[in-house]
Amino acid sequence: MEQELKMLGSVEPSRVVFFPAIKPADQGDFPSLGARGCFLSHLAVLKEAKRENLNNVLILEDDLLFTRFLIKQQAQIVNELESLNWDIVYPGHGENLAPSTKGIFQQYSQPLVLAHFIAFNRNTIAQLVDFLEAVLSRPPGHPQGGPMHVDGAYTTFRMLHPELTTLIANPSLGLQRSSPSSIAGYKWFETLPAFAQLLSTLRTVKDWRRRNSTV
Q: What is the pLDDT of residue 13?
A: 60
Phi, psi of 59 (to 5 degrees): -100, 125
Confidence (pTM): 0.80
Note the pLDDT of residue 200.
Answer: 42
Kindly give the confidence (pLDDT) of every residue in the chain, 215 residues in length, as a single tens digit, with 9 standing for 90 and above.
677 777 777 566 667 788 888 999 999 999 999 999 999 999 999 999 999 999 999 999 888 888 999 989 999 999 999 999 999 999 999 898 988 888 999 999 999 988 889 999 998 999 999 999 999 999 999 988 999 999 999 999 999 999 999 999 999 999 887 655 544 454 444 444 444 444 444 444 444 454 455 55
DSSP 8-state assignment for residue 115: -
Which CA distances in Å does 209 have to 95, 111, 149, 206?
Answer: 18, 27, 28, 5
How many angstroms separate the CA atoms of 45 and 178, rounded?
24
- The CA distance from 67 to 179, in Å, is 17
Domains of the chain: 2-211 (3.90.550)
What secondary structure does DSSP assign to 98-112, as a single string?
Answer: PP-SS-SEEE--S--
Q: What is the pLDDT of residue 4?
A: 72
Please measure the distance between the N-terminal and C-terminal CA atoms of the chain and give it in whole angstroms. Answer: 21
pLDDT at site 84 = 96
**What is the structure's pLDDT at 195?**
47
**Residue 74, Cβ density class (10 Å: 0-12 exposed, 13-18 middle, ≥19 buried):** middle
